[in-house]
Amino acid sequence: MDKGWQHNYDLGKKFFEEKKYDTALQYLEKVTGEKNNYADVYNMLGLIYYNYSRFEDAIKSFKRALEINPSYTEVSLNLSVVFNELGMFEKSSEIYSMAKETRKGTHSYLDPYVKGKLANMHAGLGTIYKDLGFYSQAVEEYKKALELRPDFVDLKTDLGSAYRDMLDYHGAIRELEDAIKINPEYTAARIQLGLTYYTMGQHEKAKTEWLKVLRQQPDNKMAQMYMNLLLTPSRQAP
């Protein structure tokens, strides 16, 4: 009997790590039929269910993993992510707060994968705030995301864009230039920097940035579109 569940566990984990989720699911579900006290099995199942948009099954699996190990940081964040994606923001925040309380007095290591997921959650909230016109709240969420993953140039670009939308051009230029320094090949940041200069009425600086993008990517539609602004005097910003 023991050899059976151990065999299924080993194969389930192997296929999960190889992202062969269909096969992994078969073996991991067999494990729970014989051993129901393995938190990592329920975490893997939860992630597979989430990948297949089986959100209720994912929630049940993550909750079961937390019953087994309340200090399992990654599971708490995974469950929080599911609630967040379903628009259940209060539950998402509640799970996150509970995870923080559970970890008090202990050392919890957040690996880059978990930090990245949490950073993307903050970025997602930032985008919601930004779309609704709550720019200061958007800025705070993007900052929280960058505290976790300061190397994510897309987050710096989003933060720079939010600063521009709230008319903080100095902050916008600072963040966008930082993003370009981190990754000069990330053209989205340079496009946004050009747009910031354009909004400020500094059309030559805007042109310089967009031309740099087009030298890297001649078919970049965004850069081409913004360059057309400079070719249409009647549409130029005052």
| pLDDT tens, residue by residue, 45-83 | 999 999 999 999 999 999 998 888 887 777 888 888 888
Q: Where are the domains of the chain?
A: 2-103, 134-235
Farthest-apart Cα atoms in the chain, separation: 79
Angstrom distance (rounded) from CA 124 to CA 130: 10
pLDDT of res. 103: 52
Same fold, 2-103 and 134-235: yes
- CATH code of the domain made up of 2-103: 1.25.40.10
Q: Which residues of the chain have pLDDT under 70?
A: 1-3, 92, 96-114, 232-238
Q: pTM to 2 decimals? A: 0.56
One of 3.40.50.720, 2.60.40.420, 1.25.40.10, 1.10.579.10 is the CATH number of 134-235, namely: 1.25.40.10
| pLDDT tens, residue by residue, 106-116 | 445 455 556 77
Structure tokens at 5: 């569940």
pLDDT of res. 165: 92
Helix/strand number for the chain, H first, E second: 13, 0
